[in-house]
Structure 1
Amino acid sequence: MLNMEKRWCPALTVLLSSIICITLSTVISSNGAVMASQQFTAMFAFGDSLTDPGNNNYLNSLAKANYVPYGIDFYQGPSGRFCNGRTIIDYLGDLLELPLLPAYANPFATGRNILKGVNYASAAAGILAETGQNLGQRFNLNDQILNFESTLNQLRNQMNQQELSQYLSQSLVVMTLGSNDYINNYLQPSFYSTSSTYKPNDYANLVINHYSRQILAIHNLGLRKFFLAGVGPLGCIPSQLATGLAPPGKCVSYVNDIVSMFNTRLRSLVDQLNAQYPGSIFVYGNTYGAFNDVLDNANAYGFRVKDRGCCGIGKNKGQITCLPFSVPCINRNQHVFWDAFHPTQAVNQILARKAYNGPPSDCYPVNVQKMAQM
């Protein structure tokens, strides 16, 4: 008689085990998105011209970059990014295996196109509502929060409440603001009187107090993972060097000193928020230190020019920014600065990597890669 005893085939056992493991380790939401392999479900970016992907294209603003030579190294050409190519957000998205985030104001930023995140950044925007008013319309941070609420309403139509809560809690928030509150506000007394009203310490406190409330407003909407970038060494950008207030080869120390006051308070705010909101994570991105590292070790990073723009007019190519159809430098990857205010995409890529997997001196208390695991 034939042996009817049940026997397992080793090859079949391996196959079934593999299928079970894949099934258990992969979670698919009702909208069809595979969740398990992702570091974050989405990324939501709030910011200014350092990360604006083209929102100001749709506003009545003097702060626009939707013309050549902007975007000369970007596959879409002049998209509205204030750079020769990609921004920090673009490169960080690459590291997180996320697609380019749509600009909130883009008509195509709707439906499934927003499931991986949205970029709300707007050139000339600040933490304070009045910052950048001299340049016309912009989405200040208060506006950007309202715009996120509009996105949230769209997401509610695509997920149930439980799915949405999980989606938001595993999303990344990146906030890069504060520069304009100095460049287009405190350092521009002809446009706004704050600089004659507040001492530097008082002004830093004012801005941080506003920022704290705005961060918590976003947190209250369900987001839980925040990367808060500090302000870079503004005293070293070509527009400040062009003022002649710094010795040759040096930065404007006064400007860097007052920016450092803001950064010190932002780092302290991160400690405070992490203590008050267990289950959430707030990270301070030391943009000031990371950018200074590039400037101090320019040759090691492959840069040959660090005191003037690749594109612009006047002293240090920092008195007038890139004019339409102007011809930029050829060796763009060897320039730290693209124009009077913004870094080249080569620097943006370095800063994104430092944010993603940098040491505590770059990202405190953890980097973005570790945030994804929390």
Structure 2
Amino acid sequence: MASLLCWCLEAVLVAVLAVVGGVSGQVEAATPRRELVPAMFVFGDSLIDNGNNNNLPSLAKANYYPYGIDFNGGPTGRFSNGYTIVDELAELLGLPLIPAYSEASGEDMLHGVNYASAAAGILDITGRNFVGRIPFGQQVENFKNTIDRITENLQSVDVAQALARCLIFVGMGSNDYLNNYLLPNYNTRNEYNGQQYANLLVQQYTTQLTRMYNIGARRFAIAGLGLMGCIPNILAQSPTDSCSDQVNQLVQPFNANVKAMIGNLNANLPGAKFVYIDITRMMKDILVRPAAYGGQITCLPFQTPCPNRDEYVYWDAFHPTSRVNVIMGRRAFNGDESIVYPMNIQQLANLDLQPNNG
């Protein structure tokens, strides 16, 4: 979740941008294509929130300038200058941009709903320093409410068959570290070591994902945590402007547990398919390839934002630029097994699940 100070970590992304096509400084629109899935349902935090916190009594909001400066709708509540990773994925899947749960109604829901909430975590207690937020458990409850509402208007069999073909995108866990474990006003660090905390998180994660499966979801893309020790907020706390190995090592057990969880869920939930998106690997690729780095540049709300935004990795203290989100979305969609495992999202969307399990 962003503070009032907006930080941009500069990086010359020429090598990476050339791979995904073009270095013009503009985010290219994805090629229109047929709908690969009926809908996408999104769960997460500020990395993919698109406005669910706008009307909450919350300090975690981004519905003001310069957020959305490069987005067609302006400031919508996205914690980015433009697209999030799920915006790019929606286009690649042939879907319209997915509406926020707080704004979706009627036919708006038929292509999916975004339940993500800035400051939210896997644990209900996470993010309380920002007051209002929608924890993962409540997001899943909102998903159930959506499916119940759709089922009221359609045959339940039809809804079940369609839901089994929909994509479920989940990106949770960042705030459970940044706005829980690493904060001095939480007692979590005194109660759990790093491995114990990762175990706690993934136990709860498993419970909620299984609940979604029981509602009828079958195709899941689960995003791991990135290089959290290298985000500008953490860099700003370093006297040498270097990544925190301590923070990076802290979250490693979580990613390892999530990978193991995905293997277990694939083995034990008939008809389901879970894939893991390796955000750490993606960010390493992006950060290692650039030839040079600049300093941190402050971009205060309502003032002039960072220029040449497509040459930056981070838009603010916590969130990537739209350009990086587009890169990650495309890699998750069609990348190899080093990036998304055991198959990419395009393959997941085209997968034939067994009829008796779907």
Deviations 1:199-222 (A, max 9, x none): 111111110111010110111100
CA distance in 2, matches of 1:307, 1:290: 22
Residue in structure 1 matching 2:75, options 63, 78, 85:
78
1:147 correspondence with 2:142 = yes
Q: Percent identical across equivalent pairs? A: 46
Q: Name 2:43's counterpart in structure 1.
A: 46
Question: Cα distance 1:311–1:154, how it changes in 2: closer, same or farther (>3 A)?
Answer: farther
Q: Name 2:97's counterpart in structure 1.
A: 100
Cα deviation, residue 58, structure 1: 1.5
TM-score under structure 1 length normalisation: 0.83
Q: Name 2:202's counterpart in structure 1.
A: 208
Cα deviation, residue 161, structure 1: 1.3
Cα deviation, residue 157, structure 1: 2.3
1:295 correspondence with 2:287 = yes
Residue in structure 1 matching 2:168, options 164, 170, 173:
173
Q: SS at the partner of 2:184? A: coil
Residue in structure 1 matching 2:156, options 136, 157, 161:
161
Cα deviation, residue 324, structure 1: 2.7
Instruction: Give the residue type in structure 2 aligned to 1:211.
Output: Y
CA distance in 2, matches of 1:290, 1:281: 22
Question: Cα distance 1:307–1:282, how it changes in 2: closer, same or farther (>3 A)?
Answer: farther
- Residue pair 1:54, 1:81 contacting (<8 A) in 2 also: yes
Q: SS at the partner of 1:70? A: coil
- Give the 5 Å matches for 1:120-269: 120-190=115-185, 192-244=186-238, 247-248=240-241, 250-269=242-261
Q: SS at the partner of 1:58? A: coil
Residue in structure 2 matching 1:63, options 60, 66, 69:
60
Q: Name 2:333's counterpart in structure 1.
A: 356
TM-score under structure 2 length normalisation: 0.87
- Residue pair 1:238, 1:307 contacting (<8 A) in 2 also: no
- Residue pair 1:189, 1:196 contacting (<8 A) in 2 also: no
CA distance in 2, matches of 1:354, 1:306: 25
Instruction: Give the residue type in structure 2 aligned to 1:227.
Output: A
Q: SS at the partner of 1:283? A: strand
Q: Where in structure 1 do 4 or more consecutive aligned residues deviate above 4 Å? A: 304-307
Instruction: Give the residue type in structure 2 aligned to 1:39.
Output: L
Deviations 1:161-206 (A, max 9, x none): 111011100000000110000000011022x110121111111111
Q: Name 1:372's counterpart in structure 2.
A: 349
Cα deviation, residue 277, structure 1: 1.7
Instruction: Give the residue type in structure 2 aligned to 1:225.
Output: R
Tell me the number of residue pairs that the alignment of Structure 1 and Structure 2 aligns: 319
Q: Name 1:281's counterpart in structure 2.
A: 273
Deviations 1:269-321 (A, max 9, x none): 1111111123110011101111111111134xxxx64763x554xxxxxxxxx
- Residue pair 1:110, 1:154 contacting (<8 A) in 2 also: no
Cα deviation, residue 241, structure 1: 0.4
- Give the 5 Å matches for 1:338-357: 338-357=315-334
CA distance in 2, matches of 1:105, 1:89: 17
CA distance in 2, matches of 1:135, 1:366: 36
Q: SS at the partner of 1:74? A: coil
Q: Name 1:18's counterpart in structure 2.
A: none
CA-based RMSD: 1.5
Instruction: Give the residue type in structure 1 aligned to 2:166.
Output: S
CA distance in 2, matches of 1:66, 1:372: 32
Question: Cα distance 1:306–1:98, how it changes in 2: closer, same or farther (>3 A)?
Answer: farther
Q: SS at the partner of 2:313? A: strand
CA distance in 1, matches of 2:255, 2:308: 32
Question: Cα distance 1:273–1:307, how it changes in 2: closer, same or farther (>3 A)?
Answer: farther
CA distance in 1, matches of 2:287, 2:51: 28
Q: Name 2:9's counterpart in structure 1.
A: none
CA distance in 2, matches of 1:361, 1:306: 29
Q: SS at the partner of 2:73? A: coil
Question: Cα distance 1:307–1:176, how it changes in 2: closer, same or farther (>3 A)?
Answer: farther
CA distance in 1, matches of 2:39, 2:107: 12
Deviations 1:2-46 (A, max 9, x none): xxxxxxxxxxxxxxxxxxxxxxxxxxxxxxxxxx95311100000
Q: Which has the higher contact order (CA 8 A, sep 6+)?
A: 2
Question: Cα distance 1:171–1:306, how it changes in 2: closer, same or farther (>3 A)?
Answer: farther
Question: Cα distance 1:307–1:90, how it changes in 2: closer, same or farther (>3 A)?
Answer: farther
Instruction: Give the residue type in structure 1 aligned to 2:275.
Output: V
CA distance in 2, matches of 1:131, 1:37: 39
Q: SS at the partner of 1:336? A: coil
